[in-house]
């Protein structure tokens, strides 16, 4: 895989799960990584230790990306430390699963604000520095739920589908500035975020997955690493499903 030497990457929600794997992968390829976290400083510092043990460079920055000023602070802190930003991975996400008839307004707002507005906040804050640099790689972590829908996740599905539309619109806006914007849509990946899925639903999903097994956080990190590399310089506005064939 192409090296990312000299690149500066911001990964939101990078203290655990998919974000953690992405941060470690990008650092292993030579990128200097900003590990964003909302509340779990201990977990973020563990990611830093892994990266430092690999010989990489990384810093942890606390910010709730659903809050516009926090997202601005995250990007400005990156610029103050590294003087540029080449790569943004919008990964921060949360769930509040329940059937729509039981879903509260708070359940809806929290999920939309973190998963979708967070990507808006961070991308908006990042675009001017990338335009000035005339280079950028933006990848948002969507979900197969955003492609096919998922019962009990109307809020999450709406947010992840929104990320797909957001990706395509922004890709058209900034393509002339040598900035690519893509999305990765994971299938079932065992993480803390997916730990509440009932086992019978997981089994049903695996029965419908041609490869017949769950993916790993590293599978998603590898896809992101490709999309942010120069090898993917002619790919933009795309949604890459990493799902074992489930949405085929």
Element (H, E) at 166: helix 154-174
Which segments within the chain are labelled E, that is strand? 8-11, 32-37, 58-62, 87-90, 136-141, 179-186, 239-242
Which segments within 105-169 are labelled E, that is strand? 136-141
DSSP per residue, 89-115: EE---------GGG--HHHHHHHHIII
Among residues 37, 135, 156, 188, the one annotated as catalytic is: 156
Residue 135 a catalytic site member: no
Q: Residues with Cβ < 8 Å from 151, sequence gap 6 or more?
A: 99
Q: Are strands 58-62 and 8-11 parallel, antiparallel or unpaired?
A: unpaired
Q: Which residues are catalytic?
A: 156
């Amino acid at each position: 895989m192409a090296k990312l030497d000299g690149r500066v990457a911001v990964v939101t929600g990078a203290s655990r799960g998919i974000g953690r794997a992405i941060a470690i992968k990008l650092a292993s390829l030579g990128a200097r990584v900003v590990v964003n976290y909302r509340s779990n400083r201990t977990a973020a510092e563990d990611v830093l230790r892994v990266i430092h043990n690999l010989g990489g460079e990384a810093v942890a920055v606390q910010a709730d990306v659903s809050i516009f000023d926090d997202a601005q602070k995250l990007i400005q802190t990156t610029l103050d430390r590294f003087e540029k930003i080449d790569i943004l991975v919008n990964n921060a996400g949360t769930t509040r699963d329940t059937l729509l008839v039981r879903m509260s307004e708070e359940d809806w707002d929290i999920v939309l604000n973190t998963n979708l507005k967070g990507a808006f906040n961070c991308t908006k804050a990042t675009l001017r520095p990338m335009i000035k640099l005339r280079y950028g790689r933006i990848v948002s972590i969507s979900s197969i739920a955003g492609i096919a829908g998922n019962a009990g996740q109307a809020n999450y599905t709406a947010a992840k589908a929104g990320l797909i539309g957001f990706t395509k619109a922004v890709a058209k806006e900034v393509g002339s500035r040598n900035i690519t914007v893509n999305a990765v849509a994971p299938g079932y990946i065992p993480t803390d975020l997916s730990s509440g899925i009932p086992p019978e639903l997981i089994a049903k999903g695996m029965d419908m997955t041609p490869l017949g097994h769950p993916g790993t956080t590293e599978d998603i990190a590898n896809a992101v690493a490709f999309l942010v590399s120069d090898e993917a310089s002619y790919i933009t506005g795309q949604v890459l499903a990493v799902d074992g064939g489930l949405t085929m």
